[in-house]
């Protein structure tokens, strides 16, 4: 059973989002890291890169495959988790601590359109077979 945190919001692409004022911290969920398997590389965005919601912002590579990380909300990258450059396995070990990037969001209202923890739990259940 995948871990889901109550205080976060979620996308259908299995990103988690924490909003703090107009800053969104984004990572991938426990379900996502478990599906990907052992992560060997995280291609981070660059600071000041701008993305619309849903655009590909980063890429996570496991032994087996590459998975895009989308911009969970629209905005400008203000921080990336450089620790992941040398230790991508942190995403496997602690997916809710190993954020990928922090974004200054253009429209904080977008946050309310994301799934809350119970909606995400239901979403996962629907997609499990």
Partner 1 sequence: MSNKRTPLHQSYRDMPGVKIVDFHGWDLPIHFSEGIIAEHQSVRNAAGLFDVSHMGEFIIEGDDAEAYVDQLVTNSISTMESGEVKYTFLCYPNGTVVDDLIVYKFSPTQFMLVVNAGNVEKDFSWVEKENPIAQSRDTLPAVKNQSDAWALLALQGPKAESVITSILPEAGDIDFFRFRDDLFLDDIPLLVSRTGYTGEDGFEVFLNADDAPEIWKRLLEAGEGEGLKPCGLGARDTLRLEAKLPLYGQEISDSITPLEANLGVFVDFEKPYFVGREALLKQKEQGIPRSLRGLEMIDAGVPRQGYAVYSGEEQVGVITSGTKSPTLKKFIALALIKRGIGLKVGNEVEIDIHGKRKKARLVKTPFYKKSGRS
**Residue 63 CB, nearest distance to partner 1 (Å)?**
5
49 forms part of the interface with partner 1 (CB under 8 A): no
| Secondary structure of residue 34 in the 3-state scheme | helix
Give the distance, in angstroms, between the CA of residue 106 and the centroid of all CA atoms in the same chain.
18
64 forms part of the interface with partner 1 (CB under 8 A): yes
Residues in the chain: 129
Q: Which of 13, 18, 23, 43 binds partner 1 (CB under 8 A)?
A: 43
- Of 6-14, 38-46, 70-78, 100-108, the window that binds partner 1 (rule: CB under 8 A) is 38-46
Looking at beta carbons only, is 20 or 129 nearer to partner 1?
129
Burial state string for 27-48 with b = 16 or more CB within 10 A and e = fewer than 16: bbbbbbbeebeebeebbbbeee
Q: Is the separation of the CB atoms in 104 and 19 below 8 Å?
A: no
The Cα–Cα gap between 114 and 106 comes to 15
85 forms part of the interface with partner 1 (CB under 8 A): yes
Q: Which of 3, 52, 55, 63 binds partner 1 (CB under 8 A)?
A: 63
Secondary structure tally for the chain: helices H, strands E: 4, 9
Residues that bind partner 1 (rule: CB under 8 A) add up to a total of 11
3 forms part of the interface with partner 1 (CB under 8 A): no
Looking at beta carbons only, is 12 or 38 nearer to partner 1?
38
Residues in contact with partner 1 by the rule CB under 8 A: 37-38, 40-41, 43, 59, 61, 63-64, 66, 85
């Amino acid at each position: 059973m995948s871990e889901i945190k109550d205080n976060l919001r979620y996308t259908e692409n299995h990103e988690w989002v924490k909003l703090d004022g107009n800053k969104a911290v984004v990572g991938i969920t426990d379900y996502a890291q478990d599906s990907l398997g052992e992560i060997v590389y995280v291609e981070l965005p660059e600071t000041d890169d701008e993305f619309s919601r849903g655009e590909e912002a980063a890429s996570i590579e496991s032994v087996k495959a590459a998975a895009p990380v989308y911009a969970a909300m629209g905005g400008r990258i203000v921080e990336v988790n450089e620790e992941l450059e040398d230790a991508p396995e942190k995403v496997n070990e602690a997916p809710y601590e190993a954020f990928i990037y922090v974004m200054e969001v253009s429209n904080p209202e977008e946050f309310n359109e994301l799934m809350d923890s119970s909606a995400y739990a239901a979403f996962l259940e629907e997609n499990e077979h």
